[in-house]
A and B are shown apart, each in its own frame.
Chain A
Amino acid sequence: MKKTIILFAFLTISLLSFSQKETVTLFNRKDLTNWKMVPHDKPGFEVQDGILVAKPQNGSNLFSEKWYGNYIFKFEYLLSEVGNSGALIRSDPENAWGTGVEVQLLAPWTPYRDDLHCTGSMYGLVAVHNRPDETTGIWHEMEIKCDRQNVTISVDGQITTVAKIDTVKGMENKNIEGAVGFQGNHGKKGEFVKFRNISIQDFDTDPEYVAKGFYENDARFRQQAHKSAVSIGAPMIDGLTKMLSQDNVMAKAGAKQVLFDIVAQATAPDVSKLEKKNVIKALKKNLKQSKSKSVSEYLDFLQNIAESKK
């Protein structure tokens, strides 16, 4: 019985922490809220009957307004007979292909397109190892998971493409965060592509996921985690305090800096009283539990900054 309770508690905790990786619908089926077309003077997308349609030939591309680093980007797509489009990840809309990567969406063309340029490939960079169903005129589901160095692409529930980006030639200077987006109709006039059920699960809002980034050897991903931790704020404090008392020098240095940055942010004149209150509360709780003298001194210092009054 006791074991069951513990197991149940464990499950609850893991479910709770998992639930912080919330999946958000990016497309409201009515209009292009959360999105922008670039360039904006050649509209390439419209909403028809709750579906996102890209029809005009070589019209604009469509990008999320928000930027994401690590996530699961999920959507359904339907290509016309010889349609050509793509999904864009970690992309700066101003230079989408230079900064980001296109995951290809393509009809089975004649001549035949190789595995480096077919649906599911990271176009021209990483080939599919498991070619997906390319039938046009029916809905397929694509899932793109960006997990720091690792990008995994699935079509209709089957993994097609796996990439570790630091081993891919041509990806050295790619962004590690950016908008997600869709290419307009890149096929012939009259061809089209449709999208529906577009959602994103942003890992960088999950304290547990972000904390793991503090141990990344690649400084860019470490810095990304630090930035995400500051924007998460108070809920990061428990995890960061733990890092302070551990032996990993890299994580410790990051935690020390980010704790300071969280406190600095919470004391800014334009920050809500609630965020400041939560930061102070978390610092106090961790100070009470701390067994290391130097960690306690640091938390005390931070608490003094956070609580300083006129």
Chain B
Amino acid sequence: MNRRLFLKNTGLGLMAYPLFTKAYTKVIADKVAASDRIRLAHIGTGNMGGQHINWFSRFPDVEIVALCDVDQLRVDKAQKSLASRNPSTKIDAYTDFRHIIDRKDIDAIACATPDHWHALVAMMAFESGKDVYGEKPLSYSADEGNLMLKSLKKHDRIFQLGNHIHAGENYHRVAEIIQSGILGKINTVRLWKTGGTSGLGFPQNEAPPKNLDWDMWLGPAPYTEYTPVRCHGSFRSFFDYSGGVFADFWCHIADILYMSLSPKGLYSIDARGEAPNDGIADTPKWIDVDFKFKDLDVFWTTTPPNVDGADKMYIGAHFEGENGSLTCDYETMKIKIGNEVMNDIPEVSKTLTRSPSHQRSFLDSVKSRVQPESNLEYSREMTLPMHLALISFRLKRKLLWNSKEEKFVDDPAANFLLSRNNRKPWALTNV
């Protein structure tokens, strides 16, 4: 019996007790046999990667055995900090993630690289028999999402997207209320996130620092000379690597739309907006998008919509139903039916199983082999409109979408932008 099969068969039976996981975890603390521990590696140990390490290192059934970052300073720092907390574990540090992919003793990876690496890292992990906790957005391009899903299925792997707000009580309760039908049929949803990409000025290119493997950082993205703002912390300002604040936050707030309504039949995407004019950044300074789904209009705006209380919320979702409305963010909700405003509707019964925590749920899935809530199939569908909106933004035109074939209607240029030809040698092989 190999390790993998052992984990699967014993499985710790966590799926049977999802609501009691916290208590269960306490009981087994310090008593997890080595064979029951999940051997985890972190790829990308910067801002978000550091969070991942903090989260995962607290689980008694997780053993973090390897770290990787293309920035030697970052990986050294992460290794040192982790080693001080877990002196008994040997932690290997790499700057090339392929060392982790090649290792047979690692069960899962947590990926917090920049967006343009997400698909490659995940697919190479799947192929090498590893499960993946991957940061949002799911992928750089729309097509990568499809390839990731194919690869996941082929290699029978577990994936959870890192949209951790998903696991909270608030989103589960919002979804229950919306799904209960108490607000009537929902016909409009407004999503917003204030703020956008700032220009970043016009810095000169310079030699990359010695601690940074710039070519590896670029990976599948077009080659360009180094300047610090293209890299750590602000890479999302560039279409070469991501899609700005919009791409950064879409998965957090569109999540509640998909969790509640799983809208189908998207057929029209119309984005308007502007790129900054005061710097090298090229992703939206502001972006407004009208999405038309079958029986549902979804609007994204960079300024809060004109609904009660929204002006004080930097991010939010507003559901408009036949009988009332619901406005929410990560932690709060406000329901309005007629003149009555409330924070909950106790009559709506609890129908959804709560998540033990986003990371715990991933670890449980690794053991049970049952996909977690924000699995790849779910997160691919949830992320897709974001990609389509950015294509509409870049081409500066309204686009029609065939949701069955997942192609734009009569717009070859838009369809071309659903994917990218990766820089050599980082082609995404068809899996």
Taking beta carbons and an 8 Å cutoff, which residues of A are in contact with B?
219, 222-223, 226, 249-250, 253, 256-257, 260-261, 263-265, 267-269, 293-294, 297-298, 301, 304-306, 308-310
Contact = CB atoms under 8 A, between A and B. Distances in A.
A306 B280 CA distance: 24
A308 B222 CA distance: 20
Interface in B196-251: 202-205, 222-224
Interface residues of B, number: 26
Nearest to A253: B280
Interface string B148-166: 0000000000000000000
Nearest to B395: A264
A309 B202 CA distance: 36
A144 to B, nearest CB: 27
Residue of B204, B224, B280 ringed by the most chain A CB atoms within 10 A? B280
B282 to A, nearest CB: 6
Contacts, number: 58
Contacts of B203: 249
Nearest to B414: A267
B275 A305 contact: no
A196 to B, nearest CB: 40
Interface stretch (B19-27, B106-114, B324-332, B405-413): B405-413
A258 B396 CA distance: 12
Given A264-B394, A268-B397, A257 B282 contact: yes
A219 B278 contact: yes
Contacts of A293: 223
B193 to A, nearest CB: 23
A256 B202 CA distance: 13
Interface string B275-291: 10111101000000000
Contacts of B278: 219
Contacts of B275: 257
15 contacts: A249-B203, A249-B280, A253-B279, A253-B280, A253-B282, A257-B282, A260-B394, A261-B396, A264-B394, A264-B395, A264-B397, A268-B395, A297-B223, A305-B416, A308-B415
A261 B279 CA distance: 17
A90 B277 CA distance: 21
Interface of B: 202-205, 222-224, 275, 277-280, 282, 394-397, 410-413, 415-417, 421, 423
Interface of A is mostly: helix
A229 to B, nearest CB: 13
Contact of A267 (B204, B222, B223, B395): B395
B416 A249 contact: no
Nearest to B394: A264
Nearest to B225: A294
B143 to A, nearest CB: 14
A174 B396 CA distance: 27
Contacts of A253: 202, 279-280, 282
Contacts of A269: 410-411
A267 B413 contact: yes
Contact of B204 (A249, A298, A301, A308): A249
A205 to B, nearest CB: 21
Nearest to B396: A264
Contacts of B202: 249-250, 253
Q: In the A-B complex, list the 4 residue pairs whose CB atoms are closest, starting with the nearest.
A: A267-B413, A308-B416, A308-B412, A249-B202
B223 A310 contact: no
Given A250-B202, A297-B223, A304-B421, 6 more contacts: A219-B277, A256-B282, A264-B396, A264-B397, A294-B223, A305-B416
A292 to B, nearest CB: 10
Nearest to B391: A264
